[in-house]
């Protein structure tokens, strides 16, 4: 298990933003697991050429494309 990265105050702020009402036990659980998210997010960052964009593409509905 990773060391919890968020302090109690940070975790409270994160949870307040989500709008969820959680028990202190649940908050402690998420603080522990939040470490995984932080670690994974850090690992996938890095220098990328702008040629690596776009992360997203979208297509027009067939009817639009046919016009």
- Positions touching other proteins (CB under 8 A) are 1, 14-15, 18-20, 29-30, 32-34, 36-37, 40-41, 43-45, 48, 52-53, 55-56, 59, 62
Minimum distance of other proteins from residue 2's CB (angstroms):
9
* Torsion sign across C-alpha atoms 42, 40, 13, 27: negative
Minimum distance of other proteins from residue 41's CB (angstroms):
4
Cα(59)–Cα(57) distance, integer angstroms: 7
Which lies closer to other proteins via its Cβ, residue 8 or residue 40? 40
Cα(48)–Cα(5) distance, integer angstroms: 26
The DSSP call for residue 52 is G
């Amino acid at each position: 298990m990773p060391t919890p990265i968020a302090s109690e105050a940070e975790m409270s702020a994160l949870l307040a933003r989500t709008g969820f009402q959680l028990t202190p036990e649940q908050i402690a659980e998420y603080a522990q697991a939040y470490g995984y998210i932080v670690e994974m997010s850090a690992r996938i960052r890095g220098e990328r050429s702008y040629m690596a964009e776009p992360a997203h593409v979208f297509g027009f509905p067939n009817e639009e494309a046919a016009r």
